[in-house]
A = this chain, B = another copy of it.
Amino acid sequence: MRQPIRRRIFSLFATLFLMPVLPVLAEQRPGALPTYSVSPVGWVRKGGGKTWIEIEPRYQAALLGVEELSSLWVLYWFDRNDTPEKRAVLQVHPRGNPDNPLRGVFATRSPFRPNLIALSQVKLVAVRGNLIEIEGIDAFADTPVLDLKP
Most buried by B among A35, A40, A73, A106: A106
Residue of B nearest to A66 (CB): B107
Docked-complex contact A91 and B62, CB < 8 angstroms: yes
A144: B residues at CB distance < 8 A: 34, 36
Chain B proximity mask over A17-44: 1 for CB below 8 Å, otherwise 0: 0000000000000000111111111000
Residues from 90 to 138 in A contacting B, C-beta threshold 8 Å: 90-91, 102-109, 113-117, 119
Asked if A149 is an interface residue, CB under 8 A from chain B, the answer is: yes
Asked if A69 is an interface residue, CB under 8 A from chain B, the answer is: yes
- Size of the A side of the interface (Cβ < 8 Å), in residues, is 47
At the interface, is chain A mostly helix, strand, loop or mixed? mixed
**Can you tell how many copies of this chain the complex includes?**
2
Docked-complex contact B90 and A117, CB < 8 angstroms: no
A75: B residues at CB distance < 8 A: 75, 115, 117, 119
Docked-complex contact A149 and B109, CB < 8 angstroms: yes
Asked if A148 is an interface residue, CB under 8 A from chain B, the answer is: yes
Q: Which of the residues B33, B91, B106, B148 comes within 8 Å of A149, measured between beta carbons?
A: B106
Asked if A47 is an interface residue, CB under 8 A from chain B, the answer is: no
C-alpha gap A59/B64 in the complex (Å): 38
C-alpha gap A91/B105 in the complex (Å): 35
Residues on A facing B (Cβ under 8 Å): 33-41, 55-56, 59, 61-66, 68-69, 73, 75, 77, 79, 82, 90-91, 102-109, 113-117, 119, 144, 146-150
